Structure 1
């Protein structure tokens, strides 16, 4: 379990982190289940709404929401937010910061504006012992006008510190409001000892099992959802 904590004076102001499954995007709900595909002569096909791996990714872990509305215009970011001064804490009062572009020198990052945006996170996040936290862009959320960079932090040890989220603004011509509560990072707990890789050649039994699985997936809808998910 991931535990999120904030300063008591900020608690009334901040939208709370949520299990990702409670913050599924509106476009997923609005998607049709089936559509006609002109490329297949008008045959009806199922949409991504029927793809369990995609939905499971959207539902995985925890989403961290934007602390307040951000107004973006002419490549500049502004906000109207006045949180209390925290005399007993060292954290910025601004909801966003910046990394100057020189800090990305040599990295293949496409900057639509002249800097790397940094979403400030006002929640400490604690992971169980032996687990790290993967911080990444909200999965499959290509509708967001930014892309959060990914990082891994050992938050079983760094449980009392803040992890902030550098992000690339993707839409150079974007003008409007990024609303409070917009998910800016997805947090996924990963066991450190589980990382590794074994590369093998299939045995005859594994070749046969593989063929049976592929045939079952081809023959009927919903096989993956019914047989291969917890």
Structure 2
């Protein structure tokens, strides 16, 4: 699938670029051990999520959209020092982050902790998808280490190819202080088709029950079964 990402003329050298998520896994995942001792099992080794293909595949899917500039956080205030030049024709915000009024999140559960507030990360890249496709924007998958939680949104990026998509987020860690560097992922985008969904719900037929039981037995006998035999939709 071809996805076109465009910024304003003259801005490409000033902006960190979106990246395929598979090329930008976090350092903590790279350094995570494959196994760890479990005290509840008398320190027997257990496999960590580093060996869980669905966990990893979700983090590798889609596109990561970056924070545009270094963002300093101190005393509950956000600041930046970034010399993005004014554009001769367009009039975009040159701030890497803005705010939403708290009233805009009235009734939104999960904002009860003192010091939480709503920000909006500025996205300087338009997104163009093939006809019939939308993009689901979510918080970077499994990135609980980030001090914010990006709010999900679904955008018809085949038609909205020339419009901006910015990323509202809850600043969920009021105690965080430090600098989020430019390029920190602030949203992850997954292209999804707009085909109508249909559900077929019922009990397993006898042959499918037999297959189900075979899979359960194989999971016990062969660690990593999903990765070895079923990942990617192929069955042995």
The alignment's TM-score, normalised by the length of structure 2, stands at: 0.94
Partner Cα separation in structure 2 for residue 80 and residue 121 of structure 1: 17
8 Å contact from structure 1 (residues 131, 191) kept in 2? yes
Going from structure 1 to structure 2, the CA distance change for 1:3 and 1:113 (only over 3 Å counts) comes to: farther
Partner Cα separation in structure 2 for residue 150 and residue 169 of structure 1: 14
SS of the residue 2:12 aligns to: coil
Show the counterpart of 1:5: 6
Partner Cα separation in structure 1 for residue 192 and residue 115 of structure 2: 33
Residue 129 (structure 1) shift = 1.0
Aligned length: 230
Residue 194 (structure 1) shift = 5.2
SS of the residue 1:193 aligns to: coil
Going from structure 1 to structure 2, the CA distance change for 1:226 and 1:112 (only over 3 Å counts) comes to: farther
Show the counterpart of 1:138: 140
Partner Cα separation in structure 1 for residue 199 and residue 77 of structure 2: 44
> 1:206-225: CA deviations, max 9, x gaps?
11111111111121112101
Partner Cα separation in structure 1 for residue 201 and residue 38 of structure 2: 39
Partner Cα separation in structure 1 for residue 181 and residue 209 of structure 2: 51
8 Å contact from structure 1 (residues 132, 153) kept in 2? yes
Question: Which one of 179, 185, 193 corresponds to residue 191 of structure 1?
Answer: 193
Unpaired runs of 5+ in structure 2? none
Show the counterpart of 1:46: 47
Show the counterpart of 1:75: 76
8 Å contact from structure 1 (residues 112, 170) kept in 2? no
CA RMSD of aligned residues (A): 1.2
Going from structure 1 to structure 2, the CA distance change for 1:36 and 1:220 (only over 3 Å counts) comes to: same
Unpaired runs of 5+ in structure 1? none
> 1:18-60: CA deviations, max 9, x gaps?
0000010111111111111111011111111100000000000
SS of the residue 1:67 aligns to: coil
